[in-house]
Structure 1
Amino acid sequence: MASKQTAPIMNQGQGETSYAHNSSIQNAEQNKMKSLIEAVVVELCSNTGTLQPGKMVIVDLGCSTGPNALALVSIAVEAIHAHCLQFQQPSPEVSVLLNDLPENDFNTVVKSLVTLRQSNDPVVVTGITPGSFYERLFTSESVHLVCSSNSLHWLSKAPEDLKTNLIPAYDIDEHSRHERLPIVLEAYAKQYRKDFTLFLKLRAKELVSGGRMIISLLGRRSDIIATKFPFLPEIVAQILCVMVSEVHFNTFFSSMHL
């Protein structure tokens, strides 16, 4: 959940089990955004009215930690330099701001930000904006480009409908779990619509006129359940049933609603 009260965070540090060493899938998704970011940067740099007086603010919402934290903003900064060099234009002053929850491991992120700033000095300044992206994070009409990858699936809180109907986070009984599945799916969908609408309203206030937002997140068509989209958690559950005893299996819970 992308709420500062109860949100889990990615494994910190640089160890074997850290997010930094186990986020290749997220990095692959970020690489798919490269051409989109470059195209948007060209549009922004070509629109002199948007960039007046020669400044650009770029933010990444849900940056997490490790090498992925700077992937999107680095693409944007490089695209700005390439465009200005090609058309022999002076580079705008660029402010790069990274956001995630306060509990996020920003230690390695800060070191990487220093490197990014020094390698692009003096036209790039950097900063960190901790907080939930379901709250206001930046001043009105101050941001030119918002990027976010693999972050907006986190909700602000657990669906209220589940609490109202006294539906537990997990039913050990498989029959009850499948029987309540439609209610659970609708509850999460309703919460997501509410959160995503709020997210868009907040960013609309923070973006400058003509600003851009590029978002990437995992999804699927609602009419594809099992035939074309294998339900991986069910496969994992079957494997776990074979590998571990029932008592330990019943104490394991991982929530996933696709």
Structure 2
Amino acid sequence: MVHMNQGQGETSNALQNRLKPLIEAAIVELCSSTNTSFPEKMLIADLGCSSGPNALALVSVAIEAIHSHCLQLQQPPPEVCVLLNDLPDNDFNTVVKSLVMLRQSNKPAVVTVGITPGSFYERLFTSGSMHLFCSSNSLNWLSKVPEDLTRNWIPAYDIDEHARSERLPMVLEAYAQQFRKDFTLFLELRAKELVPGGRMVVSLAGRRSDDRASKFSHVWEVFAQILSVMASEGVIDKAKYDSFYVPVYGPSDEELREIIQAEGSFSITEMRVHDFT
């Protein structure tokens, strides 16, 4: 089992800053809907929150946006419930302490907080209860290694460079199919949990085009090459090396668009693509 590492550093801050205007826009849309009255309560969740200093970054932006928008409209702010999600092995002790501080810092506004451990590839919340989902650099993690590879004993990274090169299209296609299944399921589950007109703001590492030999893939290639040298020198067992799979995939923007449109529960308000920094 894996979970998100603590988010920190300049790259992490840059990612949060890129999401901030999107979260603020989502809050304005939720609060300004012409189809419903001004909401009396709002439920917000961060999926894959990790446990570092940025665990509260996205939900904090949402809370600030709610207060700012209500101040402009001269409306009392709604009651806000903040829920943080990650896998059970996450360091939730640290997260809970941060949540208590978040709640205290927002008095006299009514802000309740909670933890929802579990995989976001399963139901996490009651039907039609959530207003906003946020997620940053979490959905690259697959629910499992592609079964086509493990069932047929196809290593993701072969020690032999020629064999590895020949298998690369097959391996990448297996990962792409697994991502399609997982992301489709993710969309279906979140659609059931959102209120009508609810919003979702998501970021993940990927690539600009359908060229799968991208920087994202190269990161793992370098890692695999180091391990292959260790396996060839007997430092690690070859059988273990052959069974080494990283359950991570970086989709292209077109892949995401196609999956979202095919699943049908969501419409894309805005999609931004940034270069690696």
Report TM bin, short chain.
0.7 to 0.9
Q: Distance in 2 between matches of 1:58 and 1:205?
A: 15
Is 1:117 aligned to 2:103, yes or no?
A: yes
Distance in 2 (CA, whole Å) between partners of 1:184 and 1:87 is: 53
Q: Partner of 2:2 in structure 1?
A: 8
Q: Which residue, 185, 203, 206 being the options, matches 2:190?
A: 203
Match of 2:205 in 1: 218
Note the 1:87-102 alignment, pairs <5 A. 87-102=73-88
| Alignment check: 8 A CA contact 2:31 2:38 kept | no
Q: Residue 42 of structure 2 contacts residue 80 of structure 2 at CA under 8 Å; is this kept in 1?
A: yes
Q: Determine the structure 1 residue equivalent to 2:67.
A: 81
Q: What is the distance in 2 between the residues matched to 1:129 and 1:179?
A: 43
Identity fraction in percent: 68
User: What is the alpha-carbon distance in structure 1 between the residues aligned to residue 90 and residue 217 of structure 2?
Assistant: 32
Partner deviation per Cα, 1:172-202 (whole Å, 9 max, x = no partner): 2222221211111010100100000000000
Superposition RMSD on alpha carbons, in Å?
Answer: 2.9
In the alignment, the residues of structure 1 paired with residue 90 and residue 9 of structure 2 have an alpha-carbon distance, to the nearest angstrom, of 15
Q: Say whether 1:69 aligns with 2:55.
A: yes
Q: Match of 1:130?
A: 117
Normalising by structure 1, we get a TM-score of: 0.83
2:159 is aligned with 1:165:
no
Q: Determine the structure 1 residue equivalent to 2:12.
A: 26
Query: Is the contact made by 1:59 and 1:73 (CA closer than 8 Å) also made in structure 2?
Result: yes
Structure 2 portions without partners, runs of 5+: 251-277
Alpha-carbon offset, residue 238 of structure 1: 7.2
SS in 1 for 2:82: strand
Q: How far, CA to CA, are the matches of 2:110 and 2:53 in structure 1?
A: 22
- Please give the alpha-carbon distance, in whole angstroms, between the structure 2 residues aligned to 1:158 and 1:76: 34
1:49 shift after superposition: 4.9
Q: Give yes or no for contact 1:50–1:208 (8 Å, CA) kept in 2.
A: no
Per-residue deviation at 1:29?
1.0
Q: Which runs of 5+ in 1 are unaligned?
A: 1-6, 12-18
C-alpha offsets along residues 87-110 of structure 1, whole Å, 9 cap, x if unaligned? 211000000000001110111111
Amino acid at match of 1:29: L
Task: After superposing the two structures, state which structure 1 stretch, 177-186 or 148-157, moved more.
Answer: 177-186
| Change beyond 3 A, Cα 1:54–1:191 | same
3-state SS in 1 of match to 2:117: coil
Deviates more, 1:109-118 or 1:46-55: 46-55
Following superposition, the deviation at residue 247 of structure 1 comes to 4.0
Whether 2:131 is the aligned partner of 1:144: answer yes
AA matched with 2:105:
S
Q: Shift in Å at residue 34 of structure 1? A: 0.4
TM, length-normalised to structure 2: 0.77
The alpha-carbon deviation at position 257 of structure 1 amounts to 5.5
Q: Distance in 1 between matches of 2:50 and 2:36?
A: 29
* Offset, 1:239: 8.1
Letter aligned with residue 150 of structure 2: K
Alpha-carbon separation, structure 2, partners of 1:157 and 1:229: 18
For this pair of structures, how many residues does the alignment match? 243
